[in-house]
Structure 1
């Protein structure tokens, strides 16, 4: 039997119970941090030789040089052509939809002119080169390629360098095919902290990038944290999360499976249901018991639901929205009759899935929006990965003579007040002498 805690928002200690439910020990492992720091330093010092050595050691390969670890564009195209037509079409459609969505995120540079002729504005330019990390080895994730590479491509990034510990076979063909369709420039079959180091510092073969995006294991996450500042990173993601708000009218089997869709990621993933109908909550619980034995990842789902899952009864949908904003989930399903009325009450969520037919899994693969989302309540201040993550903004200032006269007096006063006389003088020199 699966034990999923059942809570009620009416309980006097509900706030404390919710806090305990959301708490997650993200304490960094000193051992992992030290090992990663050593790998980063070694790759920075020895370059290709260190990357090859660590790749052979950790991934049990026998590469003699980085040439053995680079995949050509010809290889990518061949991988795509090996796929069955159905899979080719699925990847192409997913890429097209993701590209179309992200095209809407592009913003133009802009400028305006003050009354005195001073021009002010903002110039938006793409990053020169980015690196995307795609997990591999025991599993393959073509969706991660699509979600990381396409927004970079749409942003106008001229070089997209992908690293992934690909090991051949049909699963890896899907990853390479996705890279072919998504516009990846170069691929190296390396993973772990050594791959992050190669991207951050550059080697004789791997070019240094400006930003690294994409998920990975604890070593990859630690490496991204440690190279931040040398390069930009997207985020350090925590366990997967789903929160379902339901009015009690969706097929309970659908809701149970949607909870499973995140719980199956790992034993510390979080799946929560908020509903005002106690009888419906009981039906979802019954669906969980009925459906779980048939799930291939049943043991992981069972552990996840037992560790951090919950079925929570609320007074009404308004209270459900208040609690959802406290949780700030990665994925939020509004499985209600009128999601458009409810969505305006949601302030914090990575992605909002509106209506009973909108399963979270559609967003993971092909709906269009990005599936790289903020976790661990960071949706309170963070956004999904997007085109804007692969661009930067430069302020434009072109001051006219009249503007220098007016602004110079203001800057002179403020700089003098801050005790910065050179600042003040630079402004004052451009102020016209009064007649």
Structure 2
């Protein structure tokens, strides 16, 4: 499906006028985020073992999967002093960058905090909504191929702002390697407990609790296919944020943005992993050729060039459309995790964009800024789920309780209505309960 021009870059080239455009686009977008029965069976075994054997199972799996040699959970537990030490020992440049990002993320999420509310009806009945935070949240932070301190900030800070009383973080440490940037981020974000656990066993520990790991109310954060499958399996016993798929970016360009800029914007998602997706849409065919040339020229300079090359060949695309209206239709068809509107008047596009996780406006707003420090959350719906879901935020760590306080007059008035409806449903006890409150 991919095309390799003379410069050697393989990437899919599509045009909306092609007879097979819809089928090719559908094939590019297809993604199953949770795996097959074999993965599910393995995850079920791990969840069951942790549920039954607690800490002993966590120690066993950590030694097996992360190549450790520990004998107790004490060796997989990091206290607050270790987090502070990691923060204090960072080079000043990294410490300042983390602090700046944390400050911006916290300020943005402070604006999201909902308030409880009430209103009083004429007969004195009070109705309302009470907003309360979760007691305990669990945060899964990926480890292994790369370290993600930004994920710590993006997951923990909204929980902290929401008022969550206790934040528990798990992070795998293959071969026992700790990342001080991740630990420093946990310190800045107000994480209460850190356990060096990963995989389905970490999800099980958070969902069920063990002798050492406290059970949480909700698990957030991305992971590999075993983590995603485990999160899906424990949903219902605990809440989860989402089943995260590979990273995605959709860039819409009017042809006036520097081709080198756009090439690097596309690379910024493709370098995550081989399954990541980077798509550029434009109604300027010559511009698409310029970006393809810029990508081929700049690709060898990347540290993760081979990952990018595979991602672009398998799931990347340059799409030629007819006009801006058709580009807007493609945005809503794809429902991207990240959308860059690299156009002259991005504000004029907003009313037409119905489905996107995060919208980056104008030529200067690189998606990478949102990954780290712009302020809005980088935990976003993937694989088209922006059609019905939203970025992680303060609301994900809070609950809403309805408040109903009837006056005697209000209970009498509502009781008459409830009685009729309850008897219509043949629920006699419901009806009689309401009728007792009816005043003569």
- Identify whether the pair has TM-score above 0.5, normalized to the shorter chain: yes
User: What whole-Å deviation, never above 9, does each CA across 1:196-243 have from its counterpart, x for those lacking one?
Assistant: 111100011111000000011111111111111110000110111100
Q: Is the 8 A contact 1:152 1:387 kept in 2?
A: yes
CA distance in 2, matches of 1:169, 1:197: 21
In the superposition, relative to structure 1, how do residues 165 and 34 fare at CA in structure 2: closer, same or farther (>3 Å)? same
* Structure 2 counterpart of 1:86, from 83, 86, 93: 93
The alignment partner of 2:179 has SS state of helix
In the superposition, relative to structure 1, how do residues 227 and 266 fare at CA in structure 2: closer, same or farther (>3 Å)? same
Q: Decide which moves more: 131-140 or 245-254.
A: 131-140
1:408 matched to which residue of 2? 415
* Structure 2 counterpart of 1:422, from 410, 424, 429: 429
Q: Is the 8 A contact 2:34 2:229 kept in 1?
A: no
Answering whether residue 309 of structure 2 is matched by residue 302 of structure 1, we say: yes
2:268 matched to which residue of 1? 261
Q: Is the 8 A contact 1:123 1:394 kept in 2?
A: yes
CA distance in 1, matches of 2:189, 2:251: 32
- 1:171 Cα deviation after fit: 6.7
1:33 matched to which residue of 2? 40
CA distance in 2, matches of 1:261, 1:77: 31
User: What whole-Å deviation, never above 9, does each CA across 1:365-384 have from its counterpart, x for those lacking one?
Assistant: 00000000000100000000
- 1:5 Cα deviation after fit: 1.6
The alignment partner of 1:344 has SS state of helix
2:196 matched to which residue of 1? 189
The alignment partner of 2:24 has SS state of helix
Q: Is the 8 A contact 1:139 1:171 kept in 2?
A: no
5 Å-filtered alignment, 1:36-115, equals 36-115=43-122
User: What whole-Å deviation, never above 9, does each CA across 1:273-299 have from its counterpart, x for those lacking one?
Assistant: 110111111101111111111111111
Q: Is the 8 A contact 1:140 1:175 kept in 2?
A: yes
User: What whole-Å deviation, never above 9, does each CA across 1:20-43 have from its counterpart, x for those lacking one?
Assistant: 221224462211111110111111
1:152 matched to which residue of 2? 159
The alignment yields a C-alpha RMSD, in angstroms, of 1.3
CA distance in 2, matches of 1:138, 1:17: 31
- 1:168 Cα deviation after fit: 8.9
5 Å-filtered alignment, 1:281-296, equals 281-296=288-303
**Unpaired stretches in structure 2, ≥5 consecutive residues:** 1-7
1:136 matched to which residue of 2? 143
Q: Decide which moves more: 213-222 or 384-393.
A: 213-222
Q: Is the 8 A contact 2:34 2:228 kept in 1?
A: no
- 1:10 Cα deviation after fit: 2.4
